Amino acid sequence: MDKLVIEGGVPLTGGIDISGSKNAALPILFASILLSEPARIANVPDLRDIHTTLKLLNVLGCACAYDDHEVRTQPGKLLPEAPYDLVRTMRASVLCLGPLLARIGQARVALPGGCAIGARPVDQHLKGLECMGASFQLEEGYILGRCRRLTGARITFDMPTVGGTENLLMAAVLAEGETLLENAAREPEVVDLANFLRACGANIEGHGTDVIRIQGVAALHGADYAVMPDRIEAGTFLVAAGITGGELLLRHCPFDALEAVIRKLCHMGMEITQTPQGVLARCAGPLHGTDVKTQPYPGFPTDMQAQIMALMCLADGASVVEESIFENRYMHVLELVRLGAQIKVSGHTAMVRGVQGLTGAPVMASDLRASASLVLAGLAARGRTEVRRIYHLDRGYEHIEHKLTAVGARIRREQE
């Protein structure tokens, strides 16, 4: 098992290329199950979850191969079972459910695993697919789904759900008739999936709003498509510039998709501007506390909560974080406290009082974004910080230590 060792206190300066979005690439890869022709998907990040997905697609009968951030898919004879050994490590694996039902009318998918950040039930996925004509049983940890042919339906989500919107969007493109998804998720990654499906011949309108209209088609052809840049990786490096008092140029940064994050960072005292070369982020003066409430897009993303909390630890005054998406997403708090932070949690709310400085210490990562917050805190802390259990980090950040080393960080990967 690996750990990251960080000697902090160095302002980061230089340029960083933002990788393709993991959260956009995963549903786009699962959408290849729907295609009757080969596809080429570019700008795919080199991450553990990506390679797990490719293994799963090959097991399902959709041949695919990864080479230098590009995936080529080849349709084949599809099989219905997504086995537990692959699904258990990755929440997004449930996204094969809708495409399999749309293509072959059956699916046997193990209940998914992933980060331990709270309950993320798939009931919204199943209820929507039942409205389209599927029936389900739960058997020995597997979801068993069957249908003759999915038919269009009017589906209203109880709450915006990214995975549920993506699963039903994929199912609906080959369903008979029209499907209306109401209270749909508006995240840029949902829009990217819809744009990929449209490039393959799907008839979709309204993506990016809370009402998506899909007219089913008989078949989807292949396409060449590039995945959008990763807004959460970009947001993490924006915080890295601020927490170290540095200046970073982020190339291929999705500025518009980060509006809520950039607005809060600028309120805290950072300067973030668009230039012809990329997005320039710097922190020339003292940071100030702010309040954040996580919300579905276009609100402040839950996937940036842990990172901005690390920045709040060094900001003047008090900051308040309210986590409204996941009920168990403060596991990084105790580890930040080990580095000298002053944070108190009450229910879904965390109160952060800024301190003059953080001090290095051994810390333990509990999930993907918690890992990022501990790396950020370690970059700012005096002395040596060891971030352990970074296999979480490798699920969502492509070679993060290499990118940080290139802009001046003293960080290295070691075996525990």
Which residues form the catalytic set?
115
Under 8 Å between Cβ of 176 and 152 = yes
Three-state DSSP class for residue 156: strand
DSSP 111: P
Regarding beta strands 2-7 and 410-415, do their DSSP bridges make them parallel or antiparallel, or are they unpaired?
Answer: antiparallel
Closest C-alpha to 134, from 190, 91, 161, 172? 172
Annotated binding site for phosphoenolpyruvate: 22-23
Q: Structure tokens of 49?
A: 């979850």
Annotated binding site: 22-23, 91, 120-124, 303, 325
Name the helix (H) or strand (E) containing 307.
Answer: helix 305-312
Helix, strand, coil fractions of the chain, as percent rounded to 5: 35, 30, 35
Q: Which residues contact 138 (CB under 8 A, 6 or more apart)?
A: 111, 144
Annotated binding site for UDP-N-acetyl-alpha-D-glucosamine: 91, 120-124, 303, 325
- What is the strand order of the sheet 318-322 is part of? 291-293, 318-322, 349-353, 342-346
Q: What DSSP line would sit under 330-360, residue for residue?
A: -TTHHHHHHTT-EEEEETTEEEEE--S--B-
Closest C-alpha to 107, from 79, 77, 140, 139? 79
